Amino acid sequence: MVPLMLQAGVFLLAVAITGLVNRQARRHRLLAYPVSRSAHVDPTPAMGGIAIVLLFLAMAVLALGRNLLSSSEFLALMAGVLVAVVGLLDDFWQLSIYWRMLSQCLATAWVLALLGPLPSLDFWVFTLDATWLLYPAAGLMLLWLLNLYNFMDGIDGLAAIELISVTVLSSFFAITGGDQALALLCASLASAAAGFLVWNWPPAKIFMGDVGSSFIGFTLGILALMSVLHGTTSLWTWFILLAVFVVDATTTLVRRMASGEVWYEGHASHAYQNAARRYKSHAKVTITVLLINCFWLAPLAWFSVQWPEYGFPLTILSMTPLLFLAIKLRAGNNQ
C-alpha cells in the first residue's frame, strides 16, 4: 500500500518548493523569454521541475532504506540526476545537442548496465529474446522517452497532467500486483506533479523546464523496465499509458525529418500545439488529454495487465485513433 499521509506531504512540499523556486527565479530574473515559437507571452520561470526531481529522489532514498529497492535499482534511478543537472544547465545556457546527447547516452548505458539481463519482448506473433537486440532497443526507448517528454512540454499543464495520469494508473497496477517499490515511486511522482500543477495550471506561473521534463521522461523509462523485471506489467502497458505523447512526438518527428527539417531544432508544430492555437486554449487541450487517458487508454492498459499476451495488439489499438487525430491536427506542420 501507499501511505496517504506520506503522499499528502509530498504534494504539499511540491507546492511549497515550486513556489519558492518561482519566487527566487523571478527575483533573480531567471526567466524564459518568449520567442516566435513560444506558447506564452510573458517572461516566466522555467525550473519548476526541480521540485519533482528532489522529491522523487527523496522517495527513492526512502524506498532503499525500507529495502523495497535493490542497490542496483536505486543506482539506476540515480542516473536521472545527471539528466536533471544537464537539463537545468540547458534551461540556463541552451547547451549544444552534443553535450545533451552525450550525457543522455552515458545515463542510459549506466541504467542498462545496472538493471542486468532484460526479459524478452512479446510481439504477439513472435518474441524478441536476443540479448544483442534487447539492449539497443531498451536504450533507444530510454532516449526517446527522455526526449519526447521534453518535446511535449510546450503548453501549460500538459506534461504535469500526463505524468499524473500515467503514474496514478501505474501505481494502481503496482499495488494490485504487490510491487511496493513501484507503487511508492509512481505515487510519489503523481503527488509531486500534482503539487507542481498548482503553479503550472493555465495560465502557468512557472514552467517545468528541461530539468523536469527530461528527468521525468527518463525516469518513466527506468520505472517501465523495473516493472517488467519485477513481473508487474509489460512494456506495452507503459506504451499504452503514454500513447498520447508517444504518438504525437513520433508522428511530428517523422514528418519533420521527411520534409528535410532538423529534428532537434525548436519548433511549435506538434499536434497539441496546433490544437492549442486552433482552439485558443491550453486548458482545453490539457483536459482533453486527461479525458483520453482516463476513458480510452486506462481501460486498454488494464486489459494489457490482465492479458499480457495481447499487449502488442492492444498497444496498436490504443494508438491508431491517436495517429489519425495527430494527422488531422497536422502534427509536424505549423498551422
Tell me the DSSP string of 3-72.
-HHHHHHHHHHHHHHHHHHHHHHHHTT-EE---TT-S-SS-EE--THHHHHHHHHHHHHHHHHTT-S-HH
- The answer to whether residue 9 is domain-embedded is yes
- The answer to whether residue 63 is domain-embedded is yes
Average pLDDT, the chain: 94
The per-residue pLDDT for 177 is 95
Residue holding cell 491517436?
Answer: 322
Q: What is the pLDDT of residues 230-281, one digit of tens each?
A: 999 999 999 999 999 999 999 999 999 998 888 777 788 999 999 999 999 9
- The answer to whether residue 334 is domain-embedded is no
109 touches 139 (CB < 8 A):
yes
115 touches 73 (CB < 8 A):
yes
18 touches 45 (CB < 8 A):
no
Q: What is the pLDDT of residues 141-159, one digit of tens each?
A: 999 999 999 999 999 999 9
Q: What is the pLDDT of residues 287-321, one digit of tens each?
A: 999 999 999 999 999 999 999 999 999 999 999 99
User: Percentage of the chain with pLDDT > 90?
Assistant: 83
Domain limits at 32?
Answer: 4-117+129-328
- The answer to whether residue 124 is domain-embedded is no
- The answer to whether residue 201 is domain-embedded is yes
What total number of domains does the chain contain? 1
- The answer to whether residue 333 is domain-embedded is no
Is residue 335 predicted with pLDDT exceeding 60? no
Residue 323's H or E segment, with its range, is helix 311-328
CB-neighbour burial class of residue 303 (10 A; exposed 0-12, middle 13-18, buried 19+): middle
Give, as one character, the DSSP assignment of residue 262: -
259 phi and psi angles, rounded to 5 deg: -90, 5
- The answer to whether residue 65 is domain-embedded is yes
Q: How many Å separate Cα 89 from the centre of its chain?
A: 19
CB-neighbour burial class of residue 106 (10 A; exposed 0-12, middle 13-18, buried 19+): middle
pTM of the model: 0.96
- The answer to whether residue 61 is domain-embedded is yes
